[in-house]
Amino acid sequence: MKKLLLIIIGIALSFQLSAQGFTFGPLIGFNSSTLTTNIDTLTNEAKANFLFGAFIRMGKKIYIQPELVWTTKGGILINTDVSNLKAEMQIKMKQIEIPVLVGWRMINIGIANIRVMGGPVAGIVMDKTVIANDLVKDPIPETSFKDLVWSAHLGAGVDVLFLSLDIRYEFGLSNIYNGSEPYNMKNNLWRFSLAWTIL
């Protein structure tokens, strides 16, 4: 009897929260990440990485959406010498990412709606890896990268029934380099994610 009562209360609470515009659920996706620098001799290549986490969305027409996401960012830096040999460094930064977005449901047609959103992102770096090939004489030390980096998301999304597809661009706001050289490095990426609402 108690279990049945708890189930009924849980269902009633779910309907109440949904009516107030409160939803949450898991998400998965990937990003295509590049590093931009102020070093003229370096070019960059994108690196694709997976991501997963969870989101909460609060509000109807205008909403707030905090997320907690595990992802890897970084990119490939390339220095091409006169012999056309590529000195490459691949930089990976595993992060717990915390975006806090403000969104607007522009179009709502019942079972589907189209949204735009944007907001700041805090990235707590949990692990740093620098992989360099034999042509790199002095790889950047892993300790030269910050433990906390800031960025911003700007993007759009579509909801169909219980699924949400988001496409966002992430602008690096802070210099991720923290070493002795006057380098300026920022992480910029495209992010694609698919979420589904439990509630």
CA–CA distance, 78 with 33 (Å, rounded to integer)? 15
Does residue 8 sit within a domain?
no
Domain membership of residue 123 as a residue range = 24-196
What pLDDT score was predicted for residue 7?
44
Q: Is residue 14 situated within a structural domain?
A: no
d(CA 127, CA 167): 26
What pTM was computed for the model?
0.84
Taking only the tens of pLDDT, the chain with its 199 residues reads 555 454 444 443 444 444 567 899 999 999 999 999 998 878 889 999 999 999 999 998 999 999 999 999 999 998 866 556 678 899 999 999 999 999 999 998 888 999 999 999 999 999 999 998 888 888 889 999 999 999 999 999 999 999 999 999 999 999 999 988 888 999 999 999 999 998 7
Q: How many domains does the structure of the chain reveal?
A: 1
CA distances (Å), 196 to each of 69, 158, 160, 166, in order? 15, 12, 10, 11
pLDDT at res. 162: 92
Answer yes or no: is 117 within a domain: yes
CATH of the domain at 70: 2.40.160.20
